[in-house]
């Protein structure tokens, strides 16, 4: 039986007025939504901590691959594509917040409920769970750079952290527990990830998110400084000293635009560089003095700062290695500056930044499970702890024992990511908004929806192309 809009409203105890879109937009925060936000967020999280949490949700290990993307698109090509994606991400958040005001709901799942009934709620919740638990492979050239989910982050920790620690050791420490990836992963999950994920509110992670942000800033500063530590082109300079080979200056000229077969991977890579939409509404619920305008400012600030860090790190990484930039930026520094203490420290910082993102991604996944199975139950610490424990066990087991599942999650992840950042916001707005279809907002929602369909299909085609080649 199809669920009517009236029955949905009655079930949630909310009434959506039949006001005109202009009146809805003029209303900064409806009383019903205000009460709900204050009930969930109590005193609220500060503007700064909200920005840090959102930036932590946006930025991940994918930052290591952006210099490679710039090398295959050119400086201006990269800048244009990254700016377009940032603007689209900000606009999709604007649509989400507008729908929250109109429907007086505070979760992505309930927007699906209002738009398409119970099936819509289940689809959105399932999409969030798959996206945040599984491995999102956004058709990047090297899939290890494109994982933005809990199990994939832990897989990176398991494989990379022991090697990063061993670089600081001079003796033979083989067999030590802190050099065994599985043991180290379990200790970290029990001692760090689980306690942080157990926190009842996402706002409490503002401190760890600010630490993750400063790790990313430190990474960017090191990239800038090390640009003058590596002469260009390093390999040719070495050969010239030994064999008197003349220098090839073209290798040290930055390209404003560049197109090759590798350029095709740049679009989906950047399309998911600002994926944070599963965390938007949980952060909105706990924001101090919540309003649509204030949350949009949080989003715009987080996206702008992320854009700045993305662009600067990619630019100076590219200007360091030019056409020889590695698909994983730090590999180039390991090759040309081996045993450099600063580079080794940066690698540890990036790994800890990735680690501190896991609890933040955990919150939307746990909320989605709760919304599906326990939406009508009051909060319970026992249920909260059991769901948190179950999710942590699942992601640890995936990271340790099922690394090859990335091929399955790669296809699904490309679809779920596209849905969350482009398709769902556009589709829901087209369904829920009472504006004329020829209005600017609905036209923008349609463009967002259509762009998501194109990017999703393009990503899947590239993933399948990679499989065939391998």
User: Does residue 133 lie in a domain region?
Assistant: yes
As a whole number of angstroms, the distance between CA 284 and CA 148 comes to 21
Q: Specify whether the CB–CB gap between 43 and 288 falls below 8 A.
A: yes
Letter string b/e over residues 261-293, b meaning 16 or more CB atoms within 10 A of that residue's CB: eebbbbbbbbbbbbbbbbbbbbbbbbbeebbbe
pLDDT digits over 93-143, tens only? 999 999 988 888 888 999 999 999 999 999 999 999 888 886 544 445 444
Listed residue (450, 448, 427, 446) closest to 115, CA to CA: 427
User: Does residue 46 lie in a domain region?
Assistant: yes
User: Does residue 4 lie in a domain region?
Assistant: no
Q: 135: domain CATH number? A: 1.20.1740.10
Query: What per-residue confidence (pLDDT) applies to 148?
Result: 55
Domains identified in the chain, total number: 1
Structure-block tokens of residue 365: 């996944």
| This model's pTM is above 0.85 | no
Query: What per-residue confidence (pLDDT) applies to 23?
Result: 41
User: Does residue 2 lie in a domain region?
Assistant: no
Q: Specify whether the CB–CB gap between 179 and 199 falls below 8 A.
A: no
Mean pLDDT of 235-239: 46
User: Does residue 51 lie in a domain region?
Assistant: yes
Contacts for 292 with CB less than 8 Å, ≥ 6 apart? 28, 29, 97, 98, 100, 101
Contacts for 35 with CB less than 8 Å, ≥ 6 apart? none
What proportion of the chain, given as a percentage, has pLDDT over 70?
A: 81
Letter string b/e over residues 22-61, b meaning 16 or more CB atoms within 10 A of that residue's CB: eebeeeebbebbeebbeebbeebbebebbbbbbbbbbbbb
User: Does residue 111 lie in a domain region?
Assistant: yes
Q: Specify whether the CB–CB gap between 361 and 197 falls below 8 A.
A: no
Query: What per-residue confidence (pLDDT) applies to 211?
Result: 92
Confidence tier at 277 by pLDDT (50, 70, 90): confident
Letter string b/e over residues 210-224, b meaning 16 or more CB atoms within 10 A of that residue's CB: bebbebbbbbbebbb
Domain that holds residue 336: 38-469
Q: Kindly report the number of other CB atoms within 10 A of residue 1's CB atom.
A: 6
User: Does residue 328 lie in a domain region?
Assistant: yes
pLDDT digits over 2-61, tens only? 444 444 444 444 334 434 444 444 445 555 455 555 555 456 889 999 999 999 988 877
pLDDT digits over 58-72, tens only? 887 778 888 888 988
User: Does residue 14 lie in a domain region?
Assistant: no
pLDDT digits over 342-394, tens only? 988 998 999 898 889 889 889 999 999 998 888 888 889 999 999 999 999 98
The rounded mean pLDDT for the chain is 80
Query: What per-residue confidence (pLDDT) applies to 389?
Result: 94
As a whole number of angstroms, the distance between CA 124 and CA 136 comes to 16
Query: What per-residue confidence (pLDDT) applies to 194?
Result: 93
pLDDT at 185 over 50: yes
């Amino acid at each position: 039986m199809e669920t009517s809009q009236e029955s949905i409203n009655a079930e949630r105890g909310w009434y959506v007025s039949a006001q005109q879109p202009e009146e809805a937009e003029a209303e900064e925060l409806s009383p019903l939504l205000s009460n709900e936000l204050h009930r969930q967020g109590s005193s609220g999280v500060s503007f700064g901590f909200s920005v840090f949490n959102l930036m932590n949700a946006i930025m991940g290990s994918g930052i290591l691959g952006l210099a490679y993307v710039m090398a295959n698109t050119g400086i201006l090509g990269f800048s244009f594509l990254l700016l377009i994606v940032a603007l689209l991400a900000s606009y999709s958040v604007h649509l989400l917040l507008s729908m929250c005001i109109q429907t007086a709901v505070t979760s992505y799942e309930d927007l699906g409920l209002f738009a398409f009934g119970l099936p819509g709620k289940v689809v959105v919740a399932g999409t969030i769970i798959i996206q945040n638990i599984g491995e999102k492979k956004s058709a990047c050239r090297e899939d290890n750079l494109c994982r933005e989910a809990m199990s994939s982050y832990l897989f990176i920790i398991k494989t990379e952290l022991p090697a990063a620690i061993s670089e600081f050791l001079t003796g033979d420490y083989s067999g030590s527990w802190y050099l065994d990836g599985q043991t180290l992963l379990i200790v970290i999950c029990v001692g760090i990830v689980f306690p942080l994920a157990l926190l009842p509110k996402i706002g409490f992670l503002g401190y760890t998110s600010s630490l993750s942000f400063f790790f990313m800033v430190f990474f960017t500063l090191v990239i800038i400084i090390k640009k003058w530590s590596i002469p260009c082109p390093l390999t040719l300079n070495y050969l010239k000293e030994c064999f008197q080979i003349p220098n090839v200056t073209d290798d040290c000229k930055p390209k404003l635009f560049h197109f090759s077969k590798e350029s095709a991977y740049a679009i989906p890579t950047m399309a998911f560089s600002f994926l944070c939409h599963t965390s938007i509404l949980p952060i909105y619920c706990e924001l101090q003095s919540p309003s649509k305008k204030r949350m949009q400012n949080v989003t715009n600030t987080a996206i702008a700062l992320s854009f700045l860090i993305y662009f600067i790190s990619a630019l100076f990484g590219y200007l360091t290695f030019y056409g020889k930039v590695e698909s994983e930026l730090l590999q180039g520094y390991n090759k040309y500056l081996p045993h450099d203490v600063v580079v080794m420290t940066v690698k540890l910082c990036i790994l800890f930044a990735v680690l501190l993102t896991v609890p933040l991604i955990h919150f939307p996944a746990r909320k989605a499970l709760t919304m599906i199975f326990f939406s009508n139950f009051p909060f319970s610490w026992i249920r909260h702890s059991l769901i948190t424990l179950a999710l942590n066990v699942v992601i640890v087991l995936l990271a340790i024992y099922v690394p090859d599942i990335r091929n399955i999650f790669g296809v699904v992840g490309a679809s779920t990511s596209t849905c969350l950042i482009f398709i769902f916001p556009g589709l829901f707005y087209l369904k829920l908004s009472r504006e004329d279809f020829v209005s600017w907002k609905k036209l923008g929602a349609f463009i967002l929806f259509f762009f998501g369909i194109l990017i999703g299909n393009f990503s899947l085609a590239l993933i399948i192309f990679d499989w065939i080649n391998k």
